[in-house]
Amino acid sequence: MRPFLQSCCALGVALWLAGALGWPPPSQAGTALTLQKVEKQLVRGGYAETLMNAQWAVEQGEAIVPLLGQMLKKRQAYDQELGGATGAFPFNVLWALGHIPQPSALQVLEEYSAASHDPSAALAIQGWKLRAEKGSRYGVLTNDALLLEKPAEQARVVKELKAGQAVKIEREMLTSPGEEGPRGGPAHYDQVELIPSGEKGYISRAGDDFSPFM
């Protein structure tokens, strides 16, 4: 068989196999990110929905970073357009950038922080740098919290913690049997080790069950 015909046959077999195997996977087909799509996920929705979608944004990786940067620059425009009803924005975008381990994400955070002086941006930068140094199982507290001896509401308070406290996250979403969370359903706790003291304990999650760590 001539080389040209061999190439054509090989290409035909490859295309047939791709179709038979369903390649590309549905999750990767037609998933090009656009500003409109990202806005729908992170701005144009309810608070809980747009907050949880921060994890979706992290999964998009470096490709979403320029769009998140554009959105931060449009903060005032969103407020005016939506009358302040912007869901969890801009916190969710800052959280996402803080968890995307790319220098471009840190650059966007630093530029926004310098322009806005948003405390959440400073925490996101702190969390990004901590994970870059120590790994993904680290973070900083988003808000003040109590370090508890056990994963239970009535447990002894080991220490009062301030936002920005660095922690190693040892276990996540631990359920306290028989204890109801702030908005119904089971109460959840994260087991942590404080950095640098090494003290250990548990931190309660809020009613939305979103991660308490930037």
Report the pLDDT averaged over residues 158-171. 98
Mean pLDDT over all residues of the chain? 87
CA distances from 41 to 78, 86, 99 (A): 14, 11, 17
Contact between residue 212 and residue 145 where contact means Cβ atoms under 8 Å apart: yes
Sign of the dihedral defined by the CA atoms of residues 127, 130, 135, 141, in that order:
negative
Does the pLDDT at position 28 exceed 90? no
Contact between residue 141 and residue 212 where contact means Cβ atoms under 8 Å apart: yes
> The tokens of 28 are what?
């990767």
What is the third-level CATH fold of 140-204?
Answer: SH3 type barrels. (2.30.30)
Q: What is the pLDDT of residues 42-51, one digit of tens each?
A: 999 999 999 9
Q: What is the pLDDT of residues 135-147, one digit of tens each?
A: 999 999 999 999 9
Sign of the dihedral defined by the CA atoms of residues 76, 118, 205, 130, in that order:
positive
